[in-house]
Structure 1
């Protein structure tokens, strides 16, 4: 029996040894198959320098990008970042290696979809695939990766609805910025989620409860979303769109259309009620000049030749003329009437704490943008005077208004639609192959400075500043020239302006001038934040205070180069010019408003930096 036991053990050992060798070969072959499909769309041979071949060992011979366990007996991590891979993702091959826990291939050019076979990677904990060219939807099988902790897929072309990722109880990171995902946001366990960002997709509907863990910056660029923390109230239409089968685009269009109709109806109702009251007073013997109380019917023209809508009132009425649409000097809308805006489809572009923005396409194909101003305690007459003053001051880098409307309840501004989008979108959104190099950024900075300095100089006496300057309000015209939009639509009432108005030693007893002075300084702070965006390429949160603190901390540690956008550093942009512009930005965001330069001083400095940069380029060439 002893001899028999010995032979049984020997046969078992030989069989087991053969099985181990066989498994190792299968693992190597699976890895090689995976890399072959990943490395090139034409299945070219694998670069020998990476060491992936059947005659070597993944662990002992240190295949490039491969990490193993401490015993060097099983492959744990595959990290193939920045290798110019351009093939497809072979989930069936890689997931046959059951020991894999980490897959990372950031910053390549991998194409195609991720197959359902990804669910076979049972031990997978980390999946990184940012900055590739993936398309299609994430497979539903992703939700079966019960060990997954981090999923990072920024900057691809993924689309469709997300799978049921909340099923993964241990998920702590989900980053999917700049894709094309749509539908509702799944109800993740936001209490345990540590990193979350789905900016610049096509998500729609109410934002789920984020448990106070994340702010609006993780949701930017999804115009169909509503609810906290976006400060965008969800309408009944947006809440019911899923059950009614209405698409996001149509829901936005219809909501804008309904809103404009309600504005029109309320204006007409207000007008009729006032007429009724006037007639009632007349019947009781109240004397009133008929020319100032009578509402005209039909289209009329004022003394300046301004076209009036059907329900406009005479200029003698209080409240700046009731419900008239005031057409400013624009060849685009000479015959524009308020009714035209009501009849046209209106697409909601976005909402903020200062109002809502709608894209309106008229019957003749003209596209306009309507800004509905929210909670501005200004009389109709003051609003009219303010807008007419702003319209008289022209600068090529300031977007003029087409028209404006004001009633007791509503204030609207109308602008030409700028199809090239905003500075914010160019910096942080999909650039569609566009490059935003240092020379372009410096030119934008100089143009904004020129426009803002011009407006400040012309409106110093009138005390009209921009009041809400930010990268989303810098739009590009058809020639990609930057234009400051919505100038003069905001009277600043924030801590910055109030503290300055209350604490500085005033040179005048006029408190309003003090407040206006501080408002101009708020504009300069906003310009400084825009400069930081141009220099760092980073998103702005909390009115720029977080970005400012970060920049100050890096500069304080004498690591200034770390401030600049990696795209600028990689293009070998002028370090001297970037540092000089950074110094301007830091002066503009000085915590003490009085210590900030004037906009005219800033414009001179920035243009000097731009001229010197251009001379340097010319001399080098």
Structure 2
């Protein structure tokens, strides 16, 4: 092979250098533009902020970078007499910024709408300035925000819906001129909260005794616990007018229209019930043909058909003697009074199909949305299945989705759950994120929550031999506050991906389907959890076109290229390499080929919590 002349290589290097430096230059320019606007008189501006230096390696004053001195993580400019405006457009071009602190300056103007472009911002401290005007609604789009301090300013207007930020642990807004009602924050998650000395009014949301009256004092219009003044039964209108305002007229008109719609709906239902039974069956048959060509909603009875057109769960079998008692409703009040016929009539949409069964989205007549799991090819008796479901129903954890009801026959087993509209962890990792950043702190929090939930379930159900059995990212759902929730707990005894390892466990007593040990399923779960950790760290699919994630990670680590396994989004964010490596070590222990060498889930939860605590300490200590 001919050698490439040295002058050609030199030319290529020269061509590549501007491309490599362009992003760094953009960050430098953005930071300098930000400083120019926030300190127009150069007050507090450090002399080493210049295009001829690097903010990380040359240690710009107030700038803190990651441990590798590659990415800007924090900008801390407290007490520097800054008297300009906050230029969020320039600042947010620093895409790795996690902490912004401007405490005790004289910054003026509004908090700009563009602050939502700082997607990775976790800490925003703006207290002790001269900010004014209304807070931007875009503030609620900072989904990774953990701490927000806007106290001792001149902010006015109503608060944006900050309760949408599920991970918020500190909100301080005392000594402003904010008004309106206090949004319903997740007070169980908040560690600090203070809105005293504002103009808030109305009832205080339920705080579960976590905060005292001092967090709400100085707002004459507020009422209810923990304040001493009780709320009146109904609040009179502000203007005291006896006539109807245009707003009231619009409201009452809406009520009238809604009432007409309800009346028409009732007539429609009565008309449907009077139709001949044969006509109803014909509609269901049409639904079956529709399901073969699309996933459009049809009735549950038409959806749950086998490929040979043999009905396992059909309108015919229901008419043959199945009653509402066929469906066992568990202790949850959510579906109190649910009957088998309600599921049978409800429109159902196929949303997932796997080797263990199918999943349907079902909308009841009262508009309640449920998820119905149909299980197939599971050789467990009806009696054992019922006993299993009742045991699971007795164990509650906020990060485990409880079954609401179940149906069991010789041929058919159905589980009913509350539908989770935010999708799964799998979708969050690999699907469309709509600009949302799944940052390192959130991934670590998901891992810790899952591990703690599994540890709790194991402690309660280990003697019964009930593990999860099919733990994977598609079975980790996201609740309304984007909290992780383990679904389909206890529906399977083993997962095929690990059967070759379980075959080595001959010394354990066989106690479950497929000839495997029920207790060994706990070790399968640990393996599955390890794979989920690898997905969180790498951002790669478990199996994709022959790609084996666990084998690939092992090969990269063996070559001592460990940093290459991590998701580039985490590297770009400036996540701690040390803590990512520590979590990777936990994952590798979980996927040990020998089940007996895998750690218990209690040990796994402890190791992850240690990493999480280190991460929280590193962020708070700014």
| TM-score, L = length of structure 2 | 0.50
Q: In terms of Rg, which structure is larger?
A: 1
Higher relative contact order (CA closer than 8 Å, sequence separation 6+):
2
